[in-house]
Amino acid sequence: MKILIFSASTGGGHKRAAAALEDTIKRLNPDVEVTVVDGLRAIGKMYDNTAVKGYYFLVKKAPKVYGGMYEVTDRKSLAYKAVMKLNAAQSRKLMEEIERHQPDVIIMCHAFITAMVSKLKAKGKLENVKAISLITDFDAHRTYIVPNIDAYVVAEPQMADKLIEEYGVDESLIYPLGIPTFEKFSLPGAKEEICRREGFDPNKTTVLLMAGSFGVTGVLKIYENLALNDPELQLIVITGKNGKLIEKLDDSVDKVGARDRTRLLFYVNNVEDYMHISDLIVTKPGGLTIAESLACHLPMAIYNAYPGQEEYNVQFLLKQHAAITVDKKNAAEEISRLLHDPERLREMRENCRRLARPNAAEDMVKLAKSLGESDAPAGAAP
């Protein structure tokens, strides 16, 4: 069997989910041939640049505009129709990539790719190919909902209600399997060993700050205030590929005198280790970051959610009592208050454990194999 996974670079979550699926297939199903392709890039440089750079520009420079577009395209509006028509028009170019790999199953990790695959199936060009749409957030959006999709995989069971009631999706097509994550997030970490390697005390409270998306000013203030508020607190700050930020944070570490209890990290491939030894993560609410934190049973303090899917992700976490939100002005104080409330923190950790989907990637691969081996026709969503 051949499985083709289409990812996209509009945010890291689509690529992380695709990579987790690829890893699971190679680890557990060596008889399955799997390929991951950036679907937007495969269509062409101009389309990819427009979609990716346009997304990053809007969420960072004009988040309210992005939020407004997110809401209006979640309705049967003229804007929604224009977006769907534009994406469907690119399907021919995507077909060239599909023909190169001859898959039995296609997994789409992005709404735009889902629309293109739907158009190709409507034209009869993928008659024997099964299509699975993976929604990589804790909220659904109308742009994912198209005919001729064999399965929708969603992050949690309540999302099925929205697909059925608002979008009219057949319940039999919805699979609340969770967002795929790498197995290493679900395996219990050896806390003492990791702490010894990183120079931390396993008996002290540790906070992980995922700082790459915050911007320089916000994370500096949170870090400095946390370090000053609690001299016993251990802090891990991962900046991602933000060289300017790590330089400023390095100065801040000396400024607050916390060099011996701070670990600054630029870009890491073992973020799960730091999640496993932490008591709280301070982060933006991307779908994959949430799924990985839940897999590690790690409570979250959410900072600076963008309008749109991130705000809906936050609403889900707050409703489930798995996270708190903090504002720019009082973030450190609110985090410190939570850290000094062990019962509340314990309850949040248990809620994270309850929400975790440790087998999401494996279950999704099983679904793909089952559909790929079936002769049943594709289901139809309105």
pLDDT, tens digit, for every residue of 33-65? Answer: 999 999 999 999 888 888 888 888 888 889 899
Confidence band of 12 (pLDDT split at 50, 70, 90): confident
Give the per-residue pLDDT at 114.
Answer: 97
C-alpha Rg value of the chain to the nearest Å: 21
Q: What is the mean pLDDT of residues 229-235?
A: 92
pLDDT at 379 exceeding the cut of 80: no
pLDDT > 70: percent of the chain: 96
Confidence at residue 213, expressed as pLDDT on a 0 to 100 scale: 52
pLDDT band for 267, please (50, 70, 90 cuts). Answer: confident
Amino acid residing at 77: S
**Helices 111-122 + 78-89 axis angle, to 10:** 70
Least trusted range by pLDDT, from 7-21, 100-114, 209-223: 209-223
* pLDDT (average), residues 80-85: 94
d(CA 317, CA 115): 29
Least confident interval from 242-246, 265-269, 294-298: 242-246
Residue boundaries of the structural domains of the chain = 2-179+359-372, 186-355
pLDDT at 265 over 60: yes
Query: Taken in order 339, 340, 346, 348, is the CA torsion positive or negative?
Result: negative
Distance between CA 158 and CA 316 in Å, rounded? 10
CB-CB contact of 298 with 352 (8 Å): yes
pLDDT of residue 380: 41
How long a stretch of residues is the chain?
Answer: 382
What are the distances in angstroms from CA 283 to CA 19, 182, 229?
21, 19, 19
Give CA–CA dist 346/82, Å, rounded: 47
Structure-token match 């224009």, residue found: 82
Cβ contacts of 350 within 8 Å, gap of 6 or more: 297
pLDDT at 214 over 70: no
Query: What is the band of 354 on the pLDDT scale with cuts at 50, 70, 90?
Result: very high
Q: CA-CA distance, 335 to 297, in Å (whole number)?
A: 17
Which one, of 276, 273, 210, lies nearest residue 238 by Cα? Answer: 210
Alpha helices in the chain (DSSP H): 12-28, 39-43, 45-61, 63-72, 78-89, 91-101, 111-122, 159-165, 183-186, 191-198, 216-229, 243-255, 271-277, 287-295, 309-319, 331-339, 342-355, 360-372
Task: List the structure tokens of 315.
Answer: 């609403």
Structure tokens at 324: 């708190």
Residue-wise pLDDT for 240-253, tens only, equals: 777 778 888 889 99
Confidence at 215, pLDDT banded by 50, 70, 90: low
Grade residue 211 by pLDDT with cuts at 50, 70 and 90. confident
Q: What residue spans of 62-209 are helical by DSSP H?
A: 63-72, 78-89, 91-101, 111-122, 159-165, 183-186, 191-198
149 CB-near residues (< 8 Å, 6+ apart): 114, 117, 118, 131, 132, 133, 173, 378, 379, 381
Q: In terms of Cα–Cα distance, which of 163, 39, 170, 185 is closest to 107?
A: 39
Lookup: tokens for 168: 């009219």
Task: Kindly report, residue by residue over 279-295, the tens digit of the pLDDT.
Answer: 999 999 999 999 999 99
pLDDT tens, position by position, 166-189:
999 999 999 999 999 999 999 887
2-179+359-372 CATH fold: Rossmann fold (3.40.50)
Confidence band, pLDDT 50/70/90 cuts, at residue 144: very high
The reported pLDDT for the residue numbered 46 is: 87
| Section 355-371 average pLDDT | 97
Q: Which CATH number fits domain 186-355: 3.30.990.10, 3.40.1410.10, 3.40.50.2000, 3.40.640.10?
A: 3.40.50.2000
Report which of 298, 305, 303, 276 is spatially closest to residue 356, judged by C-alpha positions: 298
Q: Among residues of the chain, what percentage have pLDDT more than 90?
A: 75
Mean pLDDT for the chain overall = 92
Q: What is the pLDDT of residue 219?
A: 80
Q: What CA–CA distance (Å, rounded) separates 183 from 23?
A: 9
- Mean pLDDT over residues 89-99, rounded? 93
Averaged pLDDT for residues 210-225: 73
DSSP assignments along 229-249, one per residue: H-TT-EEEEE--S-HHHHHHH
